[in-house]
Amino acid sequence: MFRPWQFPLAALAALVVAGCGGGGGSTGGGTILSPGDISYLTEWSGRADPIGGSGQSQVITIQEPDGDNVASLLLNRASGDAIVLPDIPGGEYLLVANLFSGVDANGARLGEIRMPVTVNGAVNVQTSVGSALSRIRVNPVDVLLENGASRSFYATAFDASNRAVFTESGAFDWSVLGGVGNVTSGGVFTASNLGEGQVRATHTASGLTGSARVSVAEPNATRSEWTVLVYINAANDLYLYSDLNVDQMERVANNPDLRFVVQWKQSREIFASSSFDGTRRLLVQANNQEGVQSPVIQQLAADTDMGLPETLNDFIQWGKARYPANRYALIVWNHGSGWNRSARSTRAVSFDDQTGNAIQTWEIAQALDGHRFDILAWDASLMQMLEVAYEARPFADFVIGSEESPPGEGYPYDAVFGGFRDNPKGLTRTLSKGFVDGMLNNPPYASRKITQSVLDTAQLDELALAMDNAAGVFLANESEVLPIFKAARTAAQSYSPTIFRYYRDLKDLFSRIRNSASSNAVRTACDQVIAAADAAIVWEGHNANSAGSTGISIEASPRQRFGLYASDYRLTQFGQDTRWDEWLLRAD
C-alpha cells in the first residue's frame, strides 16, 4: 500500500504550512480561502492527556476515488493547528490524515481519519486528537448498486463538536444487515442479493455504530457481439505499460458490440510510481483523451492475488455474467515464461510481484475451468508454445501469442481491435489476424523482435500425435538422430535463450532434422510434424529480427538440463500425452 508518510523527510518538510487558530472562510492567520482550497484545522489537545505530547505530526492526503493522490502535506504540532491544501479541482475525494508520535511523520503511527470530502468551493475540515467520541458516520450514506458490483465505504468518528477524531487503524468492525452482500475488514462491500440493507461500522472500543443504506438491483445485462476480458496483472515492473494499453482500448471502445472488461492490479507497495494501488474492475468507455478515463466498476479486496488460477476464473465468471456476448475473447497480460518455471522464482504467466505467485502452465485448466472462448491471447512473453497451446485447447477456438519476448508495451490494442470495432460480426478467424497485423505494422516495433501467430486448437490433437510419433521414431533411431538433433537445436531459431531456456521454433527445428536425416522413417516423421503444424497455424507474422520464426515453439533442452525440470513437464497435458519428454531425456 502507498504510504505518504514514507516520502523523503526533506520533501515533506518543504510542504509544511504553519498557522494559528481560527475558522470560517479563512485559516487562523487570516488567510482568505479561494475556491478549491481545503482548510484543515486540528485540535491537538482534545483531552487532558494528549497522545504523544508536543512532538506530534500529521500527514494529510487528498485522494481521488480511484486512489490517486492529488495533494499530500505535512503538519507538525509545533508549527500550529492549521494548513491549507490549495487549488484542488472540483469533485469527490477521500481525505486521509495520519497521526504520528514524532515530528516530520516520524515515530509511531497513532491514528488515522478517513472521510470523503466534496470540493465545489472552499472547504473547511475540522479534526481532533483524542477528544471523546460522540457518533460514527459511514459514507457514502445511501448507495444503489447493481448485483455483483462493489463499493468502498468509510467510517469516521466525530466528537460532540462535530470534529473528526483520530482512531487507531482497524478500529472498526464491518458488517452487513439485510443479507444483500458481504463486506471486507477494510469496508469494501460487494452486492450479492437483490433488496435493501445496511453496511454497518462498529467502533470496537466504544461500541458506537454508524450505518449506510444499500439498495441492490438487477444489473443491466445487455448482450454485445464481443466481450473482451482483459486480465491485467501489473503488480510488477510492467505497470507503466498497463495505463498505455487501457488508454488504447478506450480509443476503440466506441462500438457497443465491442466491450472491454478489465481486471487490473497495480501495487504501490512494491512500485511506488504506480498510477493506483490495489485491484479494480473497469468497463472501458470510449475516450480519445490521453490517460485512462474509464470508471471503476468494482474495487476488489486489498489482498487480491492475481497470480492464482482461481482469481482469473472468478474474473471470467463475473465478466461473462455481467457483460454477456455472442463471442468472448480473453487476454492474459503480464510477464510470461512459456511452459516452464522461470529461473526467477516461479514465474510462468501472470506473476504477481506483491504475492510471489504465478499461474503455471499446468494450472491453465483450473484457471479456465467451465469456460470457452473464441479467442485466448497471451499479452506476455514466450507463450506461443505447443505445450501451452495444447493445455489451453479445450477452452478456446484460437490461441494467440508470441514465440518471442515482445516489447513491454505489448499489444497496440487500438490497432489490434480496429477490425473488431469496424466489423464486429466478421468471422473470428478473419478478425484474429488483427493481432498479427497490429504487432507487425506498429512503427515503434520495427527494430524489436516481433513474432505473432494464431493457432487453431482443433488441429492441436493431430500435431500432438505427430510429435508423439516423431519422439518414438527418434528413440528407435537414437544413434542417427542424436547428433542431428543437437546440431539442429543449435542452428534453429531460438527465443530468449539462457542456460535454463532452450525454446526453439518447431518447424525450423524439424525442418533441419529432416534435411540432415538419411532414414526414411525419421524424414517421414518430421514431414508429418511440419504438415500438422502448418494445419494448426492460421496466421503468422514475424520481422527480420526473428527471421526463423514460423508460429509455434517447442521445448528442446539437452538432457542434463531437461532432467532438472522433467517432473514439471510431466505435469503438462502435452507431457502426459506424448513421448517428447522421453526423447529430451535422451538428447544430448
pLDDT, mean of residues 172-190: 94
Query: Taking each helix axis from N to C terminus, what angle separates 506-516 and 478-491, rounded to the nearest 10 degrees?
Result: 130
Q: pLDDT confidence of 345, banded at 50, 70, 90?
A: very low
Tell which residue, 175, 172, 170, has the closest CA to residue 198. Answer: 175
pLDDT, mean of residues 221-232: 94
CB 449 within 8 A of CB 404: yes
CA atoms within 13 A on the CB side of 526: 23
- Grid look-up 537414437 returns 478
- State the virtual CA torsion across 246, 250, 255, 257 in degrees, nearest 10: 20
Neighbour-count burial of 567, counting CB atoms closer than 10 A to its CB (0-12 exposed, 13-18 middle, 19+ buried): exposed
* Between residues 494 and 217, the one the model is more confident about: 494
Q: What is the DSSP letter of 501?
A: B
Q: What cell does 564 get?
A: 532438472
How much is the pLDDT for 198?
A: 96
Q: List, edge to edge, every strand of the sheet that includes 209-217.
A: 142-146, 209-217, 195-203, 172-177
Rounded Cα distance, 170 and 554, in Å:
51
Neighbour-count burial of 48, counting CB atoms closer than 10 A to its CB (0-12 exposed, 13-18 middle, 19+ buried): exposed
How much is the pLDDT for 19?
A: 29
Q: What cell does 173 get?
A: 468492525
How much is the pLDDT for 144?
A: 87
- The H-assigned helical ranges of 296-424 are 309-322, 364-368, 386-392, 413-416, 418-422
Rounded Cα distance, 310 and 138, in Å:
32
pLDDT, mean of residues 135-144: 92
How much is the pLDDT for 12?
A: 35
Domain range list for the chain: 4-128, 135-217, 224-456, 461-584
* Between residues 185 and 500, the one the model is more confident about: 185
Tell which residue, 551, 546, 554, has the closest CA to residue 536. Answer: 551
pLDDT in tens, 166-175: 999 899 999 9
Tell which residue, 315, 312, 233, 308, has the closest CA to residue 274. Answer: 233
How much is the pLDDT for 32?
A: 65
pLDDT in tens, 17-62: 332 222 334 444 445 667 778 999 999 975 444 454 568 999 999 9
- Does residue 444 have a cis bond before it (omega within 30 degrees)? no
Q: pLDDT confidence of 330, banded at 50, 70, 90?
A: very high
pLDDT, mean of residues 506-523: 98
How much is the pLDDT for 15?
A: 34
pTM of model > 0.95: no
Residue positions counted in the chain: 588
Rounded Cα distance, 359 and 319, in Å:
19
Tell which residue, 395, 391, 433, has the closest CA to residue 416. Answer: 433
> Which has the minimum average pLDDT: 292-306, 308-322, 342-356, 558-572?
342-356
Phi, psi of 486 (to 5 degrees): -60, -45
- Rg (C-alpha) for the chain, rounded Å, is 29
Say yes or no to pLDDT of 66 above 60: yes
Neighbour-count burial of 8, counting CB atoms closer than 10 A to its CB (0-12 exposed, 13-18 middle, 19+ buried): exposed
pLDDT in tens, 242-279: 999 999 999 999 999 999 999 999 999 899 999 999 99
pLDDT, mean of residues 441-467: 97
How much is the pLDDT for 499?
A: 85
Mean pLDDT, the chain, rounded, equals: 90
pLDDT in tens, 523-543: 999 999 999 999 999 999 999
CATH superfamily of 135-217: Immunoglobulins (2.60.40.10)
pLDDT in tens, 365-423: 999 999 999 999 999 999 999 999 999 999 999 999 999 999 999 999 999 999 999 99
How much is the pLDDT for 31?
A: 56
pLDDT, mean of residues 350-378: 94
- 429-433: long-range contacts at Cβ-Cβ below 8 A with a sequence spacing of 24 or more? 429/398, 429/454, 429/456, 429/538, 432/375, 432/398, 432/400, 432/538, 432/539, 433/539
- State the virtual CA torsion across 92, 278, 240, 117 in degrees, nearest 10: 10
> Which has the minimum average pLDDT: 3-7, 152-156, 510-514?
3-7
CB 45 within 8 A of CB 129: yes
* Between residues 7 and 571, the one the model is more confident about: 571
Rounded Cα distance, 504 and 494, in Å:
5
- Fold match flag (4-128 vs 135-217): yes
How much is the pLDDT for 473?
A: 98
How much is the pLDDT for 29?
A: 43
How much is the pLDDT for 539?
A: 98
4-128 is classed CATH 2.60.120.260? no
